[in-house]
Amino acid sequence: MRARVHITLKSGVLDPQGEAIRHALGALGFDGVERVRQGKVIELELADADPEAARARVREMCEKLLANTVIENYQIEIL
Amino acid sequence: MRARVHITLKSGVLDPQGEAIRHALGALGFDGVERVRQGKVIELELADADPEAARARVREMCEKLLANTVIENYQIEIL
Amino acid sequence: MRARVHITLKSGVLDPQGEAIRHALGALGFDGVERVRQGKVIELELADADPEAARARVREMCEKLLANTVIENYQIEIL
Amino acid sequence: MRARVHITLKSGVLDPQGEAIRHALGALGFDGVERVRQGKVIELELADADPEAARARVREMCEKLLANTVIENYQIEIL
């Protein structure tokens, strides 16, 4: 089973890398790019057979290791 | 319109951050994590009204700025 | 002239990537690794001739773009 | 003992994040920024007492986990 976790900065947290990309796109002539946010994506291959058990385990991985929940949100997809 | 771009290392390219996460999960007692890959996700808010035009523009952004296509793959979702 | 900027999370801010590395090193048999922090390093080649002017400009770049000063510290070296 | 490891892309490897920063700095009015490269910095607190032993161990950590030596260089400082 595969799981994908998106980890993004919470909306109030300044994102310098996203801002750098937004300015760079403008400088390269890409108009109308209103906002850019950069995050991480972590893809896991798991031995679990049960999607709900896998999701619960991945949630625990996020809380314990993968995300800094003070400044980051995470979102889990089981594929 | 929002677009989301996943940028991941090509499958043959070693991913030290993914490996570090895999070992760390094992050390924390999460069994059965067979493979971990870490990538980037870039979310863009675009003024485009046409999804196909937006996708073509984002593809151009990836080729020109966002990805290193020698070592990275990208995948575009229009939301 | 070259400048190097270190951007690191402030000491109170949890660093999941550093933690993942610490656990992974332990799992690989590297004992006695007490703490790991991961940050970014940005190297700039600048046309400036005057080191003090370069440093002041790089400081402004950090405040305006490179760092999120709420959660990150930066440190500038002129090489 | 503290060690600091700089991990940077080899000079022939395209660096999209560095390029994004360079363009963004130009768009913000910072002239004369000729080249930007972004890398990682990993700071380790080690129980080792001997600097040479510490350096050798950190080199092994780089080879085994921290760097992808096909595309990245690393540089170790013992502080």
Q: State which residues of chain B have pLDDT below 70.
A: none
Res. A48 pLDDT band, cuts 50 70 90? confident
Q: Percentage of residues in chain D with pLDDT exceeding 90?
A: 95
* Probe site for chain A from D14, D15, D17, D30 (most A CB atoms < 10 A): D17
What residue in B sits closest to D14 (Cα-Cα)?
B68
Q: How far is CA C10 from CA A17, C13, C31, C70, in A?
A: 17, 6, 25, 8
Angle, in degrees to the nearest 10, between helices C16-27 and B16-27: 70
Q: What is the pLDDT of residue D67?
A: 96
**CA–CA dist A61, B52 (Å, integer):** 37
**Is C65 in contact with A20 (Cβ distance < 8 A)?**
yes
**CA–CA dist D34, A7 (Å, integer):** 32
**CA–CA dist A30, D66 (Å, integer):** 36
Is the predicted pLDDT of residue C48 greater than 90, yes or no?
Answer: no
The residue-averaged pLDDT of C46-67 equals: 96
Distance of CA A57 to the CA centre of its chain: 17
Give the three-class secondary structure for D69. coil
Q: What are the chain B neighbours of A41 within 8 Å (beta carbons)?
A: 6, 8, 38-41
The residue-averaged pLDDT of A14-41 equals: 96
Is the predicted pLDDT of residue C46 greater than 90, yes or no?
Answer: yes
Q: What is the pLDDT of residue B48?
A: 87
Average pLDDT, chain A: 96
**CA–CA dist C62, C59 (Å, integer):** 5
ipTM of the complex: 0.92
Asked if C6 and D77 count as a contact pair (C-beta separation under 8 A), the reply is no
* Nearest-CB residue to D65 (from B19, B65, B66): B19
**CA–CA dist C36, D74 (Å, integer):** 16
Query: What domains sit in chain B, N to C, each tagged with a CATH number?
Result: 2-78 (3.30.1280.10)
The residue-averaged pLDDT of A43-71 equals: 95
Interface of A with C (CB under 8 A): 13-16, 19-20, 23, 65-68, 70-71
DSSP state of B15: -
